[in-house]
Amino acid sequence: MDPAGDGAEFHIPTVGRQHGGRYSCTYRLQSQPFVSSEPSHTVQLVVAGGTDPTQPGAAPAPTHPGSAWTAAPKGHPDFTHANIARLGLGTVVLLVLGLILAEAYSSRPRGAP
Q: What is the pLDDT of residues 8-67, one digit of tens each?
A: 777 777 788 888 888 888 888 888 888 888 888 888 888 876 555 555 544 444 444 444
Instruction: Residue 70: count other Cβ atoms within 10 Å of its Cβ.
Output: 14
User: Is residue 10, in this structure, part of any structural domain at all?
Assistant: yes
Residues 65-94: tens digit of each pLDDT: 444 445 555 666 677 888 899 999 999 999
**The model's pTM:** 0.35
User: Is residue 89, in this structure, part of any structural domain at all?
Assistant: no
| Cβ proximity of 80 and 38 under 8 Å | no
Report how many domains make up the chain: 1
User: Is residue 50, in this structure, part of any structural domain at all?
Assistant: yes
User: Is residue 25, in this structure, part of any structural domain at all?
Assistant: yes
Structural domain that includes position 35: 1-62
pLDDT at 53: 52
